[in-house]
Structure 1
């Protein structure tokens, strides 16, 4: 088998079947990516320019959309380029960079969702202390944590992967995944440090999940006590729950399939499973929040009505 220390290119065999329909796929993909860019950039712009939206919940939504732009930028431009030029290859460095972006994007999403849950917990369960607890400084610290933690963890992970001697160049996906690259390591390569970091990462983000469950146990128990709290819960927590459910479904389904799934499934279905976390959440999240949150919806309607006039 090829040694990637010499052959500095991976083959993305998940693209094999896609090349048969590359013109149609390119057309639909570029349209879909433009829609993702439009909705996310619109939400970010509205929040940044409107001083009335400079509140923790909207700042976190802005961060959420920026992360969606970051994650999709790690996949769609490369995928579109592959379709345009009929390429199935990615450089060794480009593969590691893409794997880093994919993992850090997914973990940052979960961190932001955890912070959103904490923000809603303070707003509904401890409203009198909300302003003193969710200060601008605290918010900045939490946002920095949501970004820096996955960036640091996966920097270590990618550095460890880059030290491995690889004995294969074929990645059976449409994009690079760190775990798949590690599986290409030669039998004599020591992948134990990679496994340790992977399990530590899983533990950290499973803790995020338990924290979200804990906050919602309190949110539900508080909301049932009064009509006002129920209204606030329905208005601000339902979009969060939909985003959380979609994120968990797409990520967990992909991880479970990657570890235990059958390779007998059609390649097109395998490809969809592999990239669904880049298809559904980045578009659905800004749409759900844009229509459900009153201030965002009203601001959008004002802009639309203003253009009509």
Structure 2
């Protein structure tokens, strides 16, 4: 029978000794976190404060931006502390809290993008029935289901992990992840592994079906419709499709580096693969949607111009 100890903390073995460069990395990471918080919060405020943007598509975008803040907050404050620390450890409760935040963030992101693709399918393929089907109540219900579904199903995985008997506390990663913790167990992990596969199916495969269905139907309409209809469809769907593909790549990187031995890869590449999942999406989404969506862009310009004219009149 394996010796086991109830560990009160975890140690991270993936951090490099960068010496005085730690202050440089701390500054860069702080600026990155500030940009993410600023752009996502700005777009949330703009959507909430302008009634012209109180449409289903923008409400789903608001939910997406809230999730970007949620996922980033689950990583960046922790990462900043670890960069400045000489001893890379975290208490067990905080580690499991981070696991919950990181994994529910991923599930919410996929589910939200799936709902957004269905919204675009209705708007483009069934425009006459769009307003009757995508009402404000239905929109609120869909957003609630996305969050409750994602948070609820991972609570089961987390409760299974908390029951494991661990025979080590060294995680070969930059932050707390679910599968590396399971690999430390010396008790039976059969149930955890089975539910882990089931959770991936619920988080990734199920949202993939409405995405594929919606964009196949949208492409069909694009090729059979007029040039103007094609341009409108492409302009509204491109950001969502790019966002979905980008996040899918990020998830593949995260799954690959957490489940396979990547010690033969350069350390910079391993760090990039580990953090891409949580860093790129919160930056890409607000910038891409802010630039691509003309309605958001116009409201943003109006807000800036109004503030500038107000200050000039006071001066």
* TM-score for both structures, normalised by structure 2: 0.93
C-alpha distance in 2 between matches for 1:74 and 1:96:
11
Alignment of 1:89-128 (within 5 A): 89-128=89-128
Work out the CA distance in 2 between the residues paired with 1:213 and 1:157: 27
- Aligned residue for 2:81, secondary structure, equals helix
Q: What is the aligned partner in structure 2 of residue 37 from structure 1? A: 37
Query: 3-state DSSP class of the match of 1:215?
Result: helix
1:8 aligns with 2:8: yes
1:287 partnered with 2:258: no
Note the C-alpha offset of 1:2: 8.0
Q: Is the 8 A contact 2:262 2:270 kept in 1?
A: no
How far off is 1:111 after superposition? 0.2
Pairing 1:26-65 to 2, within 5 Å after superposition: 26-65=26-65
Alpha-carbon distance in structure 2 between the residues aligned to 1:2 and 1:300: 60
1:163-178 maps to which residues of 2 (within 5 A)?
163-178=163-178
Aligned to 1:278: 278
Q: Is the 8 A contact 1:247 1:277 kept in 2?
A: yes
Number of aligned pairs? Answer: 306
CA contact (8 A) 1:72 1:278 kept: yes
Corresponding residue number in structure 2 for 1:268: 268
SS at 2:10 equivalent: strand
2:219 equivalent in structure 1: 220
In the other structure, the counterpart of 2:312 is none
Name the CA shift for 1:91/1:18 in 2 (closer, same or farther; >3 Å): farther
| From 191, 194, 197, the counterpart of 2:192 | 194
- Mapped contact 1:17–1:268 kept (Cα < 8 A): no
Deviation of residue 18 (structure 1)?
5.1
Per the alignment, residue 143 of structure 1 pairs with 143
* Structure 1 Cα separation of the partners of residues 218 and 33 of structure 2: 35
SS of the residue 1:11 aligns to? strand
Whether the 8 Å contact between 1:4 and 1:169 is mirrored in structure 2 is no
Deviation per residue, 1:167-224 (Å, 9 max, x gap): 01100111011111000001xx121121121111122221211221111000010122
Q: CA deviation at 1:20?
A: 5.9
Residue 87 of structure 1 and its aligned partner are, at CA, apart by: 3.6
Structure 1: any 5+ residue segments left out of the alignment?
A: none
Root-mean-square deviation over aligned CA pairs? 1.6
**Is the 2:69–2:282 Cα contact (8 Å) retained in structure 1?**
yes
- 1:124–1:223 CA contact under 8 A, matched in 2: no
- Post-superposition shift, 1:96? 0.8
**Structure 2 residue ranges without an equivalent (≥5):** 310-315
Query: Do 1:19 and 1:83's aligned partners in 2 also have CA atoms closer than 8 Å?
Result: no
CA 1:87 to 1:304, structure 2 compared with 1: closer, same or farther past 3 Å?
farther
Separation in 1 of the partners of 2:70 and 2:86?
A: 25
How far, CA to CA, are the matches of 1:197 and 1:272 in structure 2? 28
SS in 2 for 1:10: strand
Distance 1:266 1:17, change over 3 A: farther
